[in-house]
């Protein structure tokens, strides 16, 4: 069947560069192929509730530099496990509403769905693929943790944002002679913390992949103090945890397919370090500021390339694939190969080795 109309959605957490992808998909689809494009509102929620609207060249004009997503997004709408109500005990009730999604896609006469998102979105897309819905994935996440792609758009901007924050923390840490902890996103993957920590010259970098030893961290801070270094900067991922310990949970969102929300490890660590070292400590949680703002030039270019390549896959009838960057070249892999998986930092990563060589501590003796 010839493609005539495609849908495009943005799922999961928002991210710099989403609008750049939407712009590239819509303009290439209309200019090069004459397809109609439907914008699906709020990720998979738009399919579940049949909320879609046409996207035109005018709709996507002047959005390249705009943060967020003009389509909206949701990280709670999973077609296979969607909240439909609350039971008598006040607990959420979930159902598989995939059949409803298939009906809405057929009613809108959508031939292909372009799904822009991270591992959760690709898991949802993979589920739709099993029903016969044709999908194309575009990799998005500031965590840079999708399998089979060297980079995701949004990561570069988030690194720049976090690096700038760390740079600013440096000046106040130096002025007040404090140990300053800066907490960044990254539940299971420490790419953002590793790169921002390296770029800003952080003294300690704590990653989810490398459980830390509190005594090692404290000894490092005291060693710097004895050597005349009046401050220490610690870059810590929200998913960092001590050896044999657990992550710090901020809250549990019961109506979400992914209910656990991490946060607060920096505050917890600051209290512990202060008690053991008698050094004054302060913690800063960057939070959602890492997702916001205008995308960097790198991410605008990458997002445009990804969006264009997504339409090329559709035109060549290579369906159910994820656009990826491998060895600095655009390529694609089956969406099913990235669903429910995450790419984490390996212990022999070259950047870890480089940081160790210049004296950065990763909070452990055994690395």
Domain locations in the chain? 5-153+295-337, 159-291
Q: Which CATH class is domain 5-153+295-337?
A: alpha beta
Q: Name every residue whose Cβ is closer than 8 Å to that of residue 306 and which is 6 or more positions away in sequence.
A: 21, 24, 138, 139, 153, 323, 330
143 flagged as catalytic: yes
User: Do 349 and 362 contact (CB within 8 A), yes or no?
Assistant: no
pTM of structure: 0.92
pLDDT one digit per residue (tens) for the chain, 367 residues: 789 999 999 998 889 999 999 999 999 999 999 999 999 999 999 999 999 999 999 999 999 999 999 999 988 889 999 988 888 888 888 899 999 999 999 999 999 999 999 988 999 999 999 999 999 999 999 999 999 999 999 999 999 999 999 999 998 888 878 899 999 998 899 999 999 999 999 999 999 999 999 999 999 999 998 888 888 999 999 999 999 999 888 777 777 767 777 788 999 999 999 999 999 999 999 988 999 899 999 999 999 999 999 999 999 999 999 999 999 999 999 999 998 889 999 999 999 999 999 999 999 998 8
Per CATH, 5-153+295-337 and 159-291 having the same topology is answered yes
* The two structure tokens encoding residue 32: 């090069």
Amino acid 257: pLDDT: 65
Amino acid 202: pLDDT: 96
Q: Decide: residue 304, CB within 10 A, 0-12 exposed, 13-18 middle, 19+ buried.
A: buried
Amino acid 253: pLDDT: 74
Active-site entry in 42, 143, 299, 320 = 143
Token pair 């830390």 in the structure block, residue? 212
CATH number of 159-291, picked from 3.30.450.20, 1.20.1630.10, 2.170.190.11, 3.40.50.460:
3.40.50.460
């Amino acid at each position: 069947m010839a493609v005539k109309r495609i849908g495009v959605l943005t799922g999961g957490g928002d991210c710099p560069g989403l609008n750049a992808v939407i712009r590239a998909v819509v303009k290439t689809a209309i200019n090069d192929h004459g397809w109609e494009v439907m914008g699906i509102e709020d990720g998979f929620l738009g399919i579940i509730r049949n909320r879609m609207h046409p996207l035109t060249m005018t709709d996507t004009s002047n959005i390249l530099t705009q943060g967020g997503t003009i389509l909206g997004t949701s990280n709670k709408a999973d077609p296979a496990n969607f909240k439909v109500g609350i039971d008598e005990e006040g607990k959420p009730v979930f159902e598989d509403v995939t059949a409803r999604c298939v009906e809405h896609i057929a009613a809108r006469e959508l031939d292909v769905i372009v799904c822009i998102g991270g591992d959760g979105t690709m898991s949802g897309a993979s589920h739709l693929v099993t029903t016969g819905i044709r999908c194309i994935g575009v990799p998005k996440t500031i965590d840079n943790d999708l399998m089979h792609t060297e980079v995701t758009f949004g990561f570069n901007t988030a690194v720049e944002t976090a690096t700038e924050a760390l740079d600013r923390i440096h000046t106040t840490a130096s002025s007040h002679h404090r140990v300053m902890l800066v907490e960044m996103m990254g539940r299971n993957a420490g790419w953002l913390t590793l790169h921002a920590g390296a770029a800003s010259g952080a003294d300690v970098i704590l990653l989810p992949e490398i459980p830390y030893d509190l005594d090692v961290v404290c000894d490092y801070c005291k060693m710097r103090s004895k050597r005349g270094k009046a401050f220490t900067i610690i870059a810590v991922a929200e998913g960092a945890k001590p050896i044999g310990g657990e992550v710090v949970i901020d809250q549990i969102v019961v109506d979400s397919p992914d209910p656990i929300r991490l946060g607060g490890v920096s505050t917890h660590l600051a209290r512990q370090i202060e008690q053991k070292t008698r050094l004054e400590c302060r913690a800063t949680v960057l939070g959602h500021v890492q997702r916001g703002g205008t995308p960097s030039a790198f991410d605008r270019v990458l997002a445009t390339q990804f969006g264009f390549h997504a339409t090329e896959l559709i035109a060549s009838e290579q369906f159910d694939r994820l656009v990826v960057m491998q060895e600095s070249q655009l390529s694609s892999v089956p969406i099913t190969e990235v669903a429910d998986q995450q790419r984490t930092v390996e212990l022999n990563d070259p950047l870890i080795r480089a940081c160790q060589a210049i004296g950065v501590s990763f909070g452990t003796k055994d690395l």
